Each structure stands twice: as C-alpha cells, then as structure tokens.
Structure 1
Amino acid sequence: MTRIGGDVVVETLRALGADTVFGLPGQHALGLFEALRRADDLRVVSSRVENNLAFAADGHARARLAADPHGPVPVTPMIVSTGPGALLTLASLQEARAASVPVLGISSQIPVAGLGGGRHGYLHELPDQQASFRDVVKSVHVVRSISQIPTALREAWESAATAPYGPVWVEIPQDVLLATANLPRLTSVTAAPAPLEPLPELVAEAAKLLDAAKNPVILAGGGALRSGAHDGLRRLAETLRAPVVSTFGGKGVFAWDHELSAQSWMEDWHTTEFLSDADVLLVLGSGLGELSSNYREFAPNGRIVQVEADLGKLESNYPALALHADVRHTLRALLDQLTPRAADGRAEAAVKDLLARVESRLDSQPLAAERKLIDDIRAALPEGTQTFWDMTIAAYWAWSAWNPDGAPIHTAQGAGGLGYGLPGALGAAAAGVRSLAVSGDGGAMYGLAELATAVQHQLDVTWLVIDDGGYGILREYLTGAFGQTTATELPRPDFVALAESFGIPARKTTVDTVRTDLADALRAPGPSVVVLPALLKMFAPTHLEHS
C-alpha cells in the first residue's frame, strides 16, 4: 500500500486524539476519504448536506464536553470538499464560534498551482476560499506540502482547544492529498493548548470587591460551562453566599435546585432587576450580549467583575473590572483569597422570592399547555439523555424553563440559525450519548435528509417535531410588530409517513399523551420520530410588562 498525503492527515488526527470524523466526500477530497477507508481505528460518520455535517460535529463536541467537562477538550474533526461543500458549512461554523465549540474543519482545495487568486478553471474554484472563513472561525491554516500537514493540524487543534474554544479551518490541496508520502508513519503528534490564567493583580482586586460586597450575585455564562467550572462555581457561590443566575448558554453549570440557584429566567424582568440590584455582579464567561442582558434592558446599579476568555467580549457592552482568563482557572485563584461567609439565609430567601415572582408572573398568563409540555418532555427523558433544540417556540421556553440536571440542553441560540436540532443530536449519538432532538416543522425541513443518516448509522436519536404549520416564533414577532404575517405559513409533509418511509418508527401524539409517547420512543434503540401538532405561545414580552 502506497501511503499518500491523506494517510498523513489521518495518522495526525489519530495521534492528536481523534476517534471519530464527520465527513462528506467530494472530488478534491478523494485522497482523504481513501485514507479514511484504510484506517481501522477512526470512525467516519457521514451526512447528506454539509451544513448538517458541521452541526453534527458541533453536537458531538458539545455532548462529549457535557459528559466529561474535566476531560481532554473534545476537538471534533469534520472533512468536506472544496467550494460549494466548504461554503455550506459557514452558517453552522458561525454557531460553533458563537457557542465556543471546538470543531476542526478540514477542507480539500484545488491543486497548489491554483492557490493564490486568479481564475484557473478548476472545478469548485474560489479566488480566495480562506477569505470566506477568516471572520467565522478562530484561525485558518493552509497546507502546501505533505511535510506541513502534521504541524498545521497540530496548530489548528491547539487553537480549537484553547479557551475560548471554537471552530478552526484547515485547507489541503487535492494534489497534496494524493501525493506519495515519504514521511514515516506518525504516532506522536501532540497538542498542548496553553491555559489562560488570570493576572494575579486583577484576581486580588476582584477578591477585594467581592469580599466587601453586601449583595453579591453571580451570572454564569457559556464560558463557565465550557471551561468545566461546575465544582469551582458551587464552591464560590457557597463561599460568598451569592445567588447564581445561569444564562441560556450556561445552563447546567450550576445545579438547578441548589438553594442558591436563581435558575435562568433571563427574559423575565424580575431576573433583570435582580441582577441590576447586585452591588457586585460577578459575570463568568458571558459577554452580556443581547440575550444575557434581556435585550439591553439590564442596567447595573453596582460594580461588574467580568471573567471572559474571549478578549473581544471584555467590557464590550458594560464597563467592568475585566479579567481575560479561563473561568475555571480564575475561580481556583479567587477561592484562595476569599473569606468564607456564614450562611444567614438572606441569599436563599432572595432566591426564593425571585423564583416566586417569576412563577406568579407565569401563573397570570394563559400558558398552562406550554408549561406542561416542557415538564412532560423533561419527565419523559431517561437520566443522562442530552437534548438538542432547534430555534422553535418550545426551545425559547426551554432556554428559561428547562432543568438541565441529568439532561443537558444544547441550543442554537449562539448564532440563532435554523436546522440545528436533528443533526446536533445525531452527532451526540455518534459519541454514544442517547439524544433527543426538538424541532418545529419549519426547522425540521432543514434536516429531513438526515433521517437517512440516522438509519445508516443506527443512531439512538428521538426526534420530536412540534408542528404548528409554519415558522411559529416569526409568526409571533411579525404579528406583534405589524398585526399580520408574511411568508410564515408553510406546507409540510406528513412527518410520520416520511419517517416511516425511511424505516424509522414514528407516531403522532397529542399534548395529553406526549409524555408517554416520547418515553416509549426514547426507550427503543435506534432512531425514532414523534410528531406533535400544537400551536404554542410565548410568555408576554417583559419590556411590555414593566413599561
């Protein structure tokens, strides 16, 4: 067997720690896929469309992070071909970047002679393919010879696995992938992401502010979750006797029913006021963006201490004592300097009062069906099931209401694109995690082709499709803003019959039977589909309530 450039790619990925690759073949990538065929220790999971392939790689990485937050960073390779195949991944990689998910995108390229601009007439040629990715991913790496492959992949892997995690992009020309490899077989390529430690002077100042605070509150964001700061956050909250609010992206980093957990009702005005009233608000791994600031309604009355691994997010929305650092490392340093407080019950009482006011607000609205649905979905899940939600009304509810303890939640609210639910769950299932996908009928149309993927790989995924006849959340937005809708009402297939045509068990359910039907589907091995015809509503916008 003649080793080629593609074999060097596969050997390097394996040495770096990859055991699964998500790949969709293309003409320029033939050398890579021949090498994957010959590899007996690297699993290949396919897809039908490249954007779904990238979502699946994203879901795979998130699932492994959730299952083992203190293990090696689960950089997930994804391989596509040049031009159209590569470009189709952009929207999905935008989500991975916004949510700090370590995906290693590898694309073939036209032959080396065609790189650098011009129009050479190659199939799939772009004058500068890299330019399409530079502002989407963390870093771009281009290979021009076989000898460059190990180092380029190692540098990309380290970039993806360095806080803040994120997607990276590597391009390898067709002729390099097919050329004879004269390098010895590679087994020792390793990556060593540098830890992002806080500056000691800033830690000391943060500790001083927190020790002096009379009403400290913690806001835990996605950066806290990604860094595996679960234990440190619990210890910090109990040391300070500080309530913890989780952002939508940070759900799961702090126990939902802990006495200091104010949960994650970020779009509720009571929670916004609760955060604003803190004399010191410790923000861990959040840029206080649109969703985390309740659409810029958050107006702090006290000081903010912000810990953030993404340098561009530091003080980008609110002034703060800003620490550019990984959350987990920062919590460890803070705990060495903080003075533990006695539990006097004040923080616990404040949390109970906040959650009671949220509950009262919800009780005042006709939302029993929506609240019951979220409770029924949660109750149907076997322990350890991970959930993947598309941009649908049920997901907007889950952002706030979902209890992630024992059932981690992953959503596309980082970039907000449609179609994430099913392919994300398929990626998780490829990691050996039982998964639930939740989509509306509009978002479901983006991923229908991946039912074939679910069957091909016999993945343990249940797909709940909530069919309201269109783009439900956009229907609400347009009606609320203009009194009428445009382009939101959609014809759709018989989802049950369509799933059954792939050989997938499927059933139609109701709001009264969804808990039982979903539980039955989740117990069965392999893929399954449950369709719920239902018209859901969102809770009232908070800015109308307090205006």
Structure 2
Amino acid sequence: MLRKGADIIIETLKKEGVEVIFGIPGGAIMEVYDALYRHGGIKHILARHEQGAGHMAEGYAKATGKVGVAMATSGPGATNLVTPIADAYMDSVPVVFITGQVPTHLIGNDAFQEVDIVGITRPITKHNFLVKRIEDLPLIIRQAFYIASTGRPGPVLIDIPKDITQKLSDVSIPTDEEVRESLPGYKPHVEGNPQQIKKAAKLIMSAKRPVLYVGGGAVQSEAQKELVELAELMKIPVTTTNMGKGAFPEDHPLALHMLGMHGTYYANMAVYNCDLLIAVGARFDDRVTGKIEEFAPQAQIIHIDIDPASISKNITVDVPIVGDVKIVLRKLIEELKKEGAKILFPKERQEWIELIESWKKNYPLRYRNSDSVIKPQYVVEQIWEATKGDAIITAGVGQHQMWAAMFYKYKFPRQFINSGGLGTMGFGLPAAIGAKIGRPEKEVFVIDGDGSFVMTMQELITAVQYKVPVKIAIINNAYLGMVRQWQELFYDRRYAEVDLSVQPDFVKLAEACGAVGFRAEKPKEVREIIEEALKIQDKPVVLDFVVDKEENVLPMVPAGKSYRDMILEDGKKAVEAETMYLVG
C-alpha cells in the first residue's frame, strides 16, 4: 500500500516501541507532525525550546534505559538541538534526533531555514543520516535505533528533507535480522576475551589493595547485581564516578562513593594507594584522574569497557577486556569461583579494608551547619531524608550538582541524572520532565542552581501543561557558584562577572507559569517546604532555597593536580592530613 514518507516514519517509530516524542514543529517537519496527529498512539510533549526537548529525551533515556526521541524542524530548530546532541554523545545516552530539512532540490542553495545539520553534528553523533530516498526511510530509522542502543550507546541524527516526507511508497518495514545484516561493519563485541578474563581473575586474587572504579557503563549495562557480588566475593571496595552513581549502592559497607575532583577523601586515597585498579565502564576522564602521572601510581589496571576506543586512550592499562560490562563481570565471577575465589593475601586484604574504614571515620563528607543561614548541603540532606532516599534526582551543572552527588545517597541505577561530560547548565529541569514521564511512579527532584535554572526555566511551562509534578529545588546563592569558587581559590577573589543578584522572584515566576512556589530563608523552613512540595502531585513545584552565598564544594582536587593536593573541608591538603600509606 502506498503511504506518505511521514506515515512510514510514524509506523516505523511504533515498530520500535516509541512511547513519547519531545519536540517542536515547524515547516520542514510539518508532514511528520500531521502524520503523528492522524495516527495517534505516540504521546508528544511540546517543549518551549528545542534544547529543552533534547534534554527531555536524554532524561527519559537515562531514567528508563530506552531510546529517547527528540524532533525539530530545519535551520534553527535543528541547531538548537546541537547542545543536547553533544551532551548525549559525551554521556553515551541513546537518543534518536529527527530533524526536518529543506526539500532535496534546495539543499545547498541557502534555502530558507537550511543548515547542514549532518555536517554540523558529525563529530558529536555516534552516527548520522541524510535521507535521500523514501525507500530508505524505514531501514534508516531502524538502523538509527539499533546503533543508538547497542555497543556504547549514543545519539544518532536522522535529517529528513520535506519532499521525502511527502512522497509516496509501498516500502515495508525491515525485520530485526534485516537491520543487523544491513550493517555488516557494525558488530559490537560483548562477550570479553576468555584469556583476558582469566588474567583479570588472577590479578584480583593476588592483589593486596584492590579497588573497583565504576563508571556510567555499569549503569547502562544494568550490572549492579554483578558488581555487588564481585565486591562481596573478593572483598573489594568500590568507588563510582559521577555518571556511575547508583551502579553500586552507596549504603553498602564497601562503598567509597565518588572519586575525583570532588570525590571523597577515602575514595581518592584508596585509588592513590591501591595496587590493583579494576575500571568498569569508565573512561578515565580528567575530572577523575587529575594529574595522570600520579593517578593510581602503584597499581596494575584492568579495564572492562564495551568501547575499544576508550581502552588505553587516557591511561595505559595492563589487562584490557572489551565487552559488555554485565556479561564480562558475570564471566569474571564464574572464573573466580572456579579458582575457589581465593584471596592469596587475606591478612593484607583485611588490613586494606580496615585502613579504608579508618579514612571513612576520620575524613567523612562534612560541612559546618548553621542555625542562621541555610547551607546547601543541608538542603540536599533534607531532600534525601524526606524522600527516604528513593527519589530520582536530576541536576543542572555547578556547585549544586556536586552537592547533589555528595550528599544524596544513591542506591539504584538511573537514580542520579546529570550532565557529566559536557557539563551543560540548564540540563536539570528538562531532564527531570523526561525522567518523570518515563518513570511516573517515582518522585523526581531537580537540584538546580539559580544560574543553571534560568537557562531553561521556560520548560516549567511545559511541566505545567502536561501536569508533570517535578520538584525543583533551587540552590539560590546569587552567584555563578562554581566559577566564583574558582575565582576565590585561584584568582585572589576577583569575582569577574559572576554576580546573579538580579534574578526573578522564583516563587512569583512559578505562580505566573501555573506552578506552585515556596521559599525558605532560614534552616528551620527547609524541611517544611520540602514536605509541602511532596504533597502536590498534579503540577510542578519550585522551591527557592536562599543559601550561604560563598559556601564552597569541598573536598576539591585543583585542576591538573594529584590527589595529594586535594583540599579538604578544613582547608588542609590531603598530603598534610596524614602520612600517605603508599608502599614501595
């Protein structure tokens, strides 16, 4: 049967199981929106800016593990998606971005609202397509979803000229097998090399001071069960990256919490002093390693990752294992059990665990609370207590993001959703909308900064329109806080262009948009307004927390420095806190 290209698009999206699309219509994509209206069966969320739509699709994908979908028209509609596309690329988020394009015969003629979005996004997509024939439409769409969701996940863009959406064809939708066969050069390796797994098992059994270093790949792979089993079987402490939070429960005795620039003292010291580092779905980014020459200087390194390009890219490793994290960990556990799961140096392993426990006791995450001014860390702790640690938390980017990572204890995968690699201010609110739509049974809190919130605050209207009851906790310090902190510590307090004292009244703004607004200016008011917000389940709530303006995120490893240079809460450096344990 002959159908328009637009109808083929909607039919194929349904075949992929798409439940919701986030987007904004326009001339070049109008045929697709008409088909979406006529067919029904897929919910559409009308964002107020294409960037918001892209981040909503990311939040949906991160919260559910499904492929998110964002759609926009040509020209500025497409270019407004560039930031979320780059964000998804950096954080390995499976999102399919569909953009309209000018008719085929006008491409290259500087037509109205024409941009080469395929060329623009080539460095920031896992793959992208320009559809040139209607007969290719269903295969390209199915390929896009397959590429986005397999191997190391990532964004895929499909640019569709308007005439392709209007033409007629009787092309059929290809099967799963036909999709795989159409991509002969794309075969992600998931199993892991058996000999490398054997080597890894021997190193784990013979290590005296091992540490598991876990990144976002473990979340993507749903490997929490395997991580817990491996850690408990071999008595290995576990630290997670910002993107890996929730892959290992943070209330577990072996949890070291986050490492890196704003990691815990005990996580960073454990990594600095370990003799074996087992990297699982992590990429050794600069915010984790600091000065590369002094990162885990005594350790042999095992690296498990599905992306071969990530292995030995930043840090040379001793045992590379390319494969799906969950599958490789399961085989590694089986290999260890086959060898009796022996710890060859049990005394030294126990001493290692006890040393780390002493670090936890002596140098916990802490801050100086106050009865007169609200501390941002206290706000996060109160949200954690009020939600019983069960909420999904999204964050913008800045100081508040780090406090959200440090003082909310995460216990399940996909619980902490934030912009890690790109560091996109404005990510929090739209991502929360996408997360809540994907996981409606969960309470979803945005922990945002006043600077980050205003970058996408128009999406509050979207949340009102669709009755998405996200809770937005604004850590309002009237500064671009993280920049101000660096200016304080490294630029002699020259506060250049970070003053945000002129801002909207966030309570009135919420009310003007049809949401609910509350403000807390004293510590005793914090829990009160959080509890009030939790009672409201039919619209979004904005919570304006007026906090200590010059509170800093600590601990902190200055950029390019080693863990020995970590600045602690009392202003001391880590190397001054106690004699380093390092052996050899």
The alignment's TM-score, normalised by the length of structure 1, stands at: 0.92
> 1:137 — aligned with what?
125
Mapped to 2, the partners of 1:351 and 1:269 lie a distance apart of: 10
Once the two structures are aligned, what percentage of the paired residues are identical? 26
Mapped to 2, the partners of 1:357 and 1:283 lie a distance apart of: 26
Deviations 1:401-425 (A, max 9, x none): 3201269111112211100010000
> 1:68 — aligned with what?
none
Q: How far off is 1:8 after superposition?
A: 0.6
Matched, 1:166 2:177: no
Compute the RMSD of aligned alpha carbons. 2.4
Deviations 1:464-498 (A, max 9, x none): 11221121111111222222111111221111111
Helix, strand or coil at the partner of 1:248 = coil
Deviations 1:292-341 (A, max 9, x none): 22464523312000112222221122221222222111101111211324
Q: How far off is 1:166 after superposition?
A: 1.0
Matched, 1:152 2:140: yes
Contact 1:260 1:351 (8 Å CA) reproduced: no
Helix, strand or coil at the partner of 1:135 = helix
Cα distance, 1:207–1:96 mapped onto 2, change above 3 Å: same
- The one-letter code matched in structure 2 to 1:301 is Q
Match of 1:528 among 541, 544, 551: 541
Q: How far off is 1:352 after superposition?
A: 1.9
**Which range moves more in the overlay, 458-467 or 507-516?**
507-516
Contact 1:370 1:537 (8 Å CA) reproduced: no
Mapped to 2, the partners of 1:362 and 1:283 lie a distance apart of: 27
Cα distance, 1:383–1:277 mapped onto 2, change above 3 Å: closer
Matched, 1:358 2:350: no
**Which range moves more in the overlay, 161-170 or 208-217?**
208-217
Match of 1:178 among 151, 166, 169: 166
- The one-letter code matched in structure 2 to 1:319 is T
**Which range moves more in the overlay, 54-63 or 249-258?**
249-258
> 1:33 — aligned with what?
33
The 5 A counterparts of 1:276-355 are 276-294=272-290, 296=292, 298-320=295-317, 321-338=319-336, 339-341=340-342, 346=351, 348-355=353-360
Matched, 1:449 2:462: no
> 2:196 — aligned with what?
202
- The one-letter code matched in structure 1 to 2:98 is I
> 2:113 — aligned with what?
124
Contact 1:15 1:188 (8 Å CA) reproduced: no
> 1:482 — aligned with what?
491
Mapped to 1, the partners of 2:14 and 2:6 lie a distance apart of: 13
Cα distance, 1:20–1:364 mapped onto 2, change above 3 Å: closer
Deviations 1:230-278 (A, max 9, x none): 0111111112111111111111011112121122243345422211222
Cα distance, 1:506–1:363 mapped onto 2, change above 3 Å: closer
- The one-letter code matched in structure 1 to 2:282 is S
Cα distance, 1:295–1:56 mapped onto 2, change above 3 Å: farther
**Which range moves more in the overlay, 270-279 or 96-105?**
270-279
Cα distance, 1:212–1:95 mapped onto 2, change above 3 Å: same
Helix, strand or coil at the partner of 2:409 = coil
- Would you say how many aligned residue pairs link Structure 1 and Structure 2? 533
Match of 2:480 among 459, 471, 474: 471
Mapped to 2, the partners of 1:187 and 1:198 lie a distance apart of: 30
Mapped to 2, the partners of 1:357 and 1:328 lie a distance apart of: 34
Contact 2:221 2:325 (8 Å CA) reproduced: yes
> 2:528 — aligned with what?
516
Mapped to 2, the partners of 1:363 and 1:504 lie a distance apart of: 33
Helix, strand or coil at the partner of 1:524 = coil
Structure 1 regions of 5+ residues with no counterpart?
A: 66-73
Matched, 1:404 2:410: yes
- The one-letter code matched in structure 2 to 1:15 is K
**Which range moves more in the overlay, 494-503 or 381-390?**
381-390
Contact 1:160 1:166 (8 Å CA) reproduced: yes
Cα distance, 1:532–1:9 mapped onto 2, change above 3 Å: same
Mapped to 1, the partners of 2:211 and 2:516 lie a distance apart of: 47
Matched, 1:427 2:434: yes
Helix, strand or coil at the partner of 1:101 = coil
Q: How far off is 1:22 after superposition?
A: 1.1
> 1:506 — aligned with what?
517
Contact 1:15 1:187 (8 Å CA) reproduced: no
Q: How far off is 1:371 after superposition?
A: 3.5
The alignment's TM-score, normalised by the length of structure 2, stands at: 0.86
> 2:582 — aligned with what?
none
Structure 2 regions of 5+ residues with no counterpart?
A: 181-186, 558-564, 568-572, 576-584
